[in-house]
Amino acid sequence: MTIATALADDPIAPAVVTDLDDLATLASDPAASARRACEVRVRAFGRQIWVRAAPPHTGSAAATVVRDDVENDLSLATGREDPVPSDLSPGPAWPDPADIDPGDRLLLRVEHDQHPAYCAWLARAAARAPGGWSLAPFCPSAGGLFRLHLIAAARLALPPGVRVEVRHDLHGVRLAQVALGFGADTLSGPIDAARHLPLAGVPRPSETSHDALAELVRQAGLEPVTHPQS
C-alpha cells in the first residue's frame, strides 16, 4: 500500500512541524523525516508532482529568486523564453520572509553549519511569508542525506500553500528522484528539448528532457503533471 492510498482513508491530516527542536532532530532520522514529509505532501497535493522548467542556476548568492511576473515581461519585450533569476540577497544572509511575494520561486543555499539557522528561517517563513510561492533549498557541499533533509524540513515546516521544489541541476537527477520520497512536490530545473540523431530521427537519451523527468516521477510511484508555464 502506498502512502497516498493509506492516507486517502485517514480523516486526520498530518500537521506541519512547528517545534524547532523536533525539526532539527529529524535530520538524524532520515526514515522518519521522509515518511512525515510525504504524509504532509500527500495531504496537500495527492500523488501529483509538478514537472517545471527553471533557468540554470549559476550564481553564488545565498538566495536567488525567479519571479514569474518579471519573466513574462522580459519574454514579451525581448523574446526571451527562459525565466530570469535575480538575487534577493547578495551576501550570506537569507531574505526576510516578509519580503517574499506570491509567485516567487526562491532558491536558498544552505551549508551544513547553517542547519539550525535554516530551521529557524523556515519557522519564520511559515509565520510571515504569504502563500503561493515555492522554495528550492540546496547545499553545494557534499552530503546527500543533508540535501534530502533540507527538502523534508521545508515540507514539514511550511504550509501547504508553499511548494517545495527539488532542482535536478543542483542535486543531481538521481538524488532529485529520491527527494520525491522526502516531500518534494515539484521536480524542476532546466529542461532539454528532445534531441535526435542527425537524419535518423532516433531519440538520443537525455535524463533532463521533459519525458525523462516525467518518467522519473512515475518510477517513484507518483503522477507527473506538466506545469502550465513549462
pLDDT tens string 100-111: 999 999 999 999
Instruction: Compare 24 and 129 and report the one with higher pLDDT.
Output: 129
* 63, 107 Cβ separation under 8 angstroms: yes
Q: Is the pLDDT of residue 203 over 70?
A: no
pTM given for the model: 0.81
Is the torsion defined by CA of 111, 230, 179, 11 positive or negative? Answer: positive
Mean predicted confidence (pLDDT) in 183-187? 98
Structure confidence at residue 111 (pLDDT): 94
Structure confidence at residue 61 (pLDDT): 81
Lowest-confidence pick of 24-28, 50-54, 112-116? 24-28
Mean predicted confidence (pLDDT) in 57-66? 84
pLDDT band at 58 (very low <50, low <70, confident <90, very high): confident
Instruction: Compare 227 and 70 and report the one with higher pLDDT.
Output: 227
Summary mean pLDDT of the chain:
81
| C-alpha to C-alpha distance for 104 and 101, rounded to whole angstroms | 6
Q: Is the pLDDT of residue 123 over 90?
A: yes
Give the percent of the chain with pLDDT over 70: 76
Q: Is the pLDDT of residue 23 over 60?
A: yes
pLDDT digits (tens, 9 = 90+) for 145-176: 999 999 999 999 999 999 999 999 999 999 99
Give the percent of the chain with pLDDT over 90: 58
Angle (deg, nearest 10), helices 30-45 and 144-157: 40
Q: Is the pLDDT of residue 129 over 80?
A: yes
